[in-house]
Amino acid sequence: MQKIYFLCTGNSCRSQMAEGYGCALLPRDQFEVKSAGIETHGLNPKAVAVMAEDGVDISQQTSDLIDATYFQEADLIITLCGDAKDKCPRIPLTATHLHWDLQDPAKAQGSEAEIMAAFRKTRDLVKAHVLELLNVTAEENCPSWKIPAPPF
């Protein structure tokens, strides 16, 4: 079973969306998916709403700090913002690290419609990235993420 860890600053939006799509789209018998933050900001209700629009319920997920044990055991660590990339612990040499530099929709300004559009844009980008992981899985019949990660 491959372990994927999605990391973001507050584990409230981007990483929560990624965990939701990871659990919904990746084969559960091949992947264990979790998310965490370098801080906890609580689950953002707008993230819950836009994910529900796409049929993925993340309402029961929790905003969690990085679990050191899961982090060390993860096969694939994906940071979703520069803050998490810069502040997360040193990536284990046994893990592969990917960085998806996504705008924080919680910082969007404007009308409610404009803010929700920012959440939907981030949601759609996260989904596309998770689907790319699925394509790798299909091509390699459960990928080996064991390529060396650069030391940080």
Task: Point out the catalytic residue in the list 13, 23, 81, 142.
Answer: 81
Task: Point out the catalytic residue in the list 8, 13, 23, 142.
Answer: 8
Quote the CA–CA distance of 33 and 56 in Å, as a whole number.
15
Catalytic residue at 142?
no
Is the four-CA dihedral 121, 56, 130, 38 of positive or negative sign? positive
Tokens of 100: 């998806």
Residue type, position 73, single letter = E
By the 8 A CB rule, do 64 and 11 touch?
Answer: yes
By the 8 A CB rule, do 7 and 63 touch?
Answer: no
Catalytic residue at 23?
no
Catalytic residue at 88?
yes
Using DSSP, state whether 141 is helix, strand or coil: coil
Catalytic residues: 8, 81, 88
